[in-house]
Structure 1
Amino acid sequence: MIHPSLIRKQRLLVAGVIVLIALTILAGMGLGYSSLSYDRLVPTLLGQGSFKENFVLFSIRLPRIIITLLAGMGLALSGAVLQGITRNDLADPGIIGINSGAGVAIAVFFLFVPIDPGSFVYLLPVVAFTGALITACLIYLLSYSRKTGLQPVRLVLIGVGFSLALSGVMIVIISSAERVKVDFIAKWLAGSIWGADWPFIGAILPWLILLIPFVLYKANRLNLLGMSESVAVGVGVAVEKERAALLLAAVALAASVVSVTGGISFIGLMAPHIAKSLVGPRNQMFIPLAILLGGWMLLIADTIGRNIIEPDGIAAGIMVALIGAPYFIYLLLKK
C-alpha cells in the first residue's frame, strides 16, 4: 500500500511541473526570431491576430512547442521502461543505441527510397521503429546469458558500442549523398526538432496515445521485473513475455519520437532519475512525474537553445547533451 502522504506529495509535484510546462509554453510562444508581443497572445489565440501574428504562432511556434513537449514525454517514458526491464539505471534509448538504429533506418529510407511526400511524414515512425527494433533485439541478445539472465552492465557497454558503430555507418551512408539530403541528416543527428509542423504531431500522437496508457497499466509488472528474476518468477510473472512486451513499447516510444525530432539523448536518463529521487522507485508513482518532467526538460532546452543564437539557434539535442553528459558521467562513477 502506498502511504497517503506520498500520494499527496506526488500530486503536488505533478501539479507543480504542469505549472512549469504552462509557463514555459507561454514564454516560448512569445520568444523567437520574429517576436510576438505577450499582450497579443490571447487575441491571436482567439483568432483576432494579424496575418503575421497568426503565421508566427500557429505555423511556427505552436507546432514546435507541442512536438517538443510530446517528444520529451515519450523519451522519458522509454527511458523509465528500459531502466526497469534491464535493472540498469544508466539505460536510455539514446545512450544504448536505439536512437542510432532508428537514425540509420531513416537515413536509408530518406536517401534511397522514392516516396510520395504526402506519405513521408506518416511512414517515418514505422521506418524508425523497424531500425530501432532490430538494434534493440541485437543488443538484448548479446547482453543475455542463459545462466545469469540479462546482464545490465554488459547491456550498456554493448549499447554504447552499437551507438558508435551505427554513427560510423551513418557517415558512410551520407558520404555520397546530395548536399540537401546531407544537411537534413546532419540536422537530425544534432536533434534539431526538424519536424516542427502539424502533420508531424499527427504522425507521433497515436503512438503516444496507445503506449503511455499501456506502460502505466503494466507499471506493477515493471516493479516486479525490477527485482531479481527469481522473485518475479516466484510471484507468477511470465518474465520473458512481459519484458518483450515492455521492450517493444520502449523501442516504439523512442523511435516514433526521434523520427521527427532527431537524435536526442539523456532525457530518458535524467527524467526518471529525478522523478525517482522525488517520489521513490515505485513505477506507479514516479512514471507520471517522469513523463511530465521529460516534456518540460526538452521544452525548456529547445526554448533556450533557439533563442541563444539567431536565427537558427542551438539544437535541442545539443542543449540537452550539455547537461545530460555530465549527469551520465556522475551516475557512472556513482554506480
Structure 2
Amino acid sequence: MGDLSYTAYERRMRKRGVVVLSILGALIVATFIISINTGYVRLGPLELLQTLFGGGTAKQDLILFQFRLPRIVISVLVGAGLAVSGCVMQGVSRNALADPGILGINAGAGLMVMLFIAFYPTTAAAPVFLLPVLALLGAGLTALLIYTLSYKRHEGLSPTRLLLTGIAVAAGISAATIVITLSLTPEKYQFVAVWMAGSIWGSNWRFVLALLPWIVILLPFVFIKARVLNVLNLGDSTATGLGASVPREQLLLLAAAVGLAASCVAVSGGIGFVGLIGPHLARRLVGPKHQLLLPTAALTGSLLVIISDTLGRWIIQPSEIPAGIIVAVLGAPYFLYLLARSRA
C-alpha cells in the first residue's frame, strides 16, 4: 500500500514538474519579447518583426542584433548557470545556504578577471574566450582551497565547516580585490565598479560564444548526475552504503558547479543571490528530487536574471542599474521571508 501511494506521489510530482517547467518557459519567452523592446530607443511591434525577418533599417539591425539580443541571451545563460551551480553546491554540502557567492567561488573568479583588467586596457579588444578560462582558474583554486580546508579524512565534508571556510576565504579575496582596485586608473575603476555590481557587460555575440560551450557541456553533465545528488543528500554513510563513491562524486559535481559559476562570472560580473534564491524557489515548486529540481532551478535563475536586467535597463533610462543590484533587491526580501518561516 505504501509503495502504491509513493508511486502515485511520484507521478503527481512529475506532472506538476511538467506544468511548472512549461509555465517558467512561457514566462521566459514573454520576458524575452518584452526585453527586446526595452531600452532608450523603442522598436514598435511591427518594426521589431520587420527587423527580425531582415526588413529593418541599419540602425534597427544594430540595436536589435548587436546590442539587445546578445545581452538577453547572456542573461538567460548566466541565470541558468548560476542557479544550477548553487543547486549543486547545496546538494553536495547538504547546506541550504551554500551558493557560489557565499562560498567565495564568485570572488575567486572575479579576482582573476580583475587581474586581467588591471593589465589590459578596457578599451582594447579583449580576448573574450580567455576570460572564462581565467575565471575558471581563479574559481578552481579557490574551490580547491575551501575543499582542502573543509574536508576531514574521518569526517568527510562538513556542511558547517564548508560554509564557514567559504565565508572566510571570500572575505580575504574581497579584501585583495579592493587593494587591486585602488591601483586602477579612473577609467578602469569605473568599469570595475559596474562589473562588481553585476552588470551584463559582455553584450555581444563573442561573449555568447565564449559562454555557450561551458553551459552546453556542464549543464547536461549535472542533469545526468541528478540521481547521485539525491543519494548524496542522504548523508555520506548512507550514500557509501548504496554504492556511491562519495569523495569522487563530490569532486566531480563541485568541479562542474565551479565551472558554471566561473564562466558566468566572466561575462556577467558579480551577480549574487541567483545561486541561492533560484534553487530555493525551485524546491518550493517541485520538491527536493534533483531530476526536476535542477531544470526548474535553471529556468528560475534565467527568469530572475532576464527580469532583473530588463528592469535595470528600463527604470532610469537612458542610464541603467546593474542586474546584480536588481537581483539583490528582488531576492533579499524573499530570502528573509524564508528565514522568518524557518524560525516559526
Shorter-chain TM-score category?
A: over 0.9
Choose the corresponding residue for 1:228, options 224, 235, 246: 235
1:108 is aligned to: 115
Shift of 1:312: 2.3
Q: 1:114 to 1:193 in 2, by over 3 A?
A: closer
Kindly report which structure 2 residues correspond to 1:156-167, keeping only aligned pairs within 5 A, or say none.
156-167=163-174
Shift of 1:239: 0.5
Q: What CA distance in whole angstroms lies between the structure 1 residues aligned with 2:59 and 2:11? A: 50
1:293 is aligned to: 300
2:44 aligned with 1:49, yes or no? no
CA contact (8 A) 2:146 2:165 kept: yes
Q: What CA distance in whole angstroms lies between the structure 1 residues aligned with 2:60 and 2:337? A: 44
Shift of 1:5: 2.1
Q: Which moved more, 1:175-184 or 1:199-208?
A: 175-184
CA contact (8 A) 1:72 1:291 kept: yes
Deviations 1:210-250 (A, max 9, x none): 00110011111111111110001001111101100000000
Aligned-residue CA RMSD (Å): 1.9
Q: What CA distance in whole angstroms lies between the structure 1 residues aligned with 2:310 and 2:148? A: 39
2:281 is aligned to: 274
TM-score (ref. length: structure 1):
0.95
Q: What CA distance in whole angstroms lies between the structure 2 residues aligned with 1:332 and 1:142? A: 28
Q: What CA distance in whole angstroms lies between the structure 2 residues aligned with 1:207 and 1:115? A: 24
Q: 1:237 to 1:131 in 2, by over 3 A?
A: same
Q: What CA distance in whole angstroms lies between the structure 2 residues aligned with 1:58 and 1:113? A: 27
Q: What CA distance in whole angstroms lies between the structure 1 residues aligned with 2:43 and 2:126? A: 33
Q: 1:119 to 1:189 in 2, by over 3 A?
A: closer
1:75 is aligned to: 82
Deviations 1:112-136 (A, max 9, x none): 3699955610000000000011111
Q: What CA distance in whole angstroms lies between the structure 1 residues aligned with 2:122 and 2:335? A: 39
Shift of 1:180: 1.8
Shift of 1:39: 2.4
Q: Can you give the 5+ residue segments of structure 1 that lack an aligned partner in the other structure?
A: none
Shift of 1:168: 1.3
Q: What CA distance in whole angstroms lies between the structure 2 residues aligned with 1:75 and 1:261? A: 10
Q: Which amino acid aligns with 1:138?
A: L
Q: What CA distance in whole angstroms lies between the structure 2 residues aligned with 1:101 and 1:19? A: 35
2:190 aligned with 1:170, yes or no? no
Shift of 1:63: 0.7
Shift of 1:137: 1.4
Q: What CA distance in whole angstroms lies between the structure 2 residues aligned with 1:118 and 1:309? A: 29
CA contact (8 A) 1:60 1:197 kept: yes
Q: What CA distance in whole angstroms lies between the structure 2 residues aligned with 1:208 and 1:309? A: 32
Shift of 1:183: 1.8
Q: What CA distance in whole angstroms lies between the structure 1 residues aligned with 2:320 and 2:119? A: 30
1:24 is aligned to: 31
SS in 2 for 1:120: coil
Deviations 1:54-104 (A, max 9, x none): 111111111110000100000011011000100011111012110000011
Q: 1:330 to 1:141 in 2, by over 3 A?
A: farther
Q: What CA distance in whole angstroms lies between the structure 1 residues aligned with 2:290 and 2:132? A: 26
Shift of 1:165: 2.0
Shift of 1:4: 2.1
CA contact (8 A) 2:81 2:298 kept: yes
CA contact (8 A) 1:192 1:261 kept: yes
Q: Can you give the 5+ residue segments of structure 2 that lack an aligned partner in the other structure?
A: 1-6
Q: Which moved more, 1:108-117 or 1:227-236?
A: 108-117
Choose the corresponding residue for 2:129, options 107, 122, 133: 122
2:262 is aligned to: 255
CA contact (8 A) 1:90 1:328 kept: no
2:166 aligned with 1:154, yes or no? no
1:205 is aligned to: 212
Q: Which amino acid aligns with 1:164?
A: A
Shift of 1:328: 4.1
TM-score (ref. length: structure 2):
0.93
2:95 is aligned to: 88
1:4 is aligned to: 11
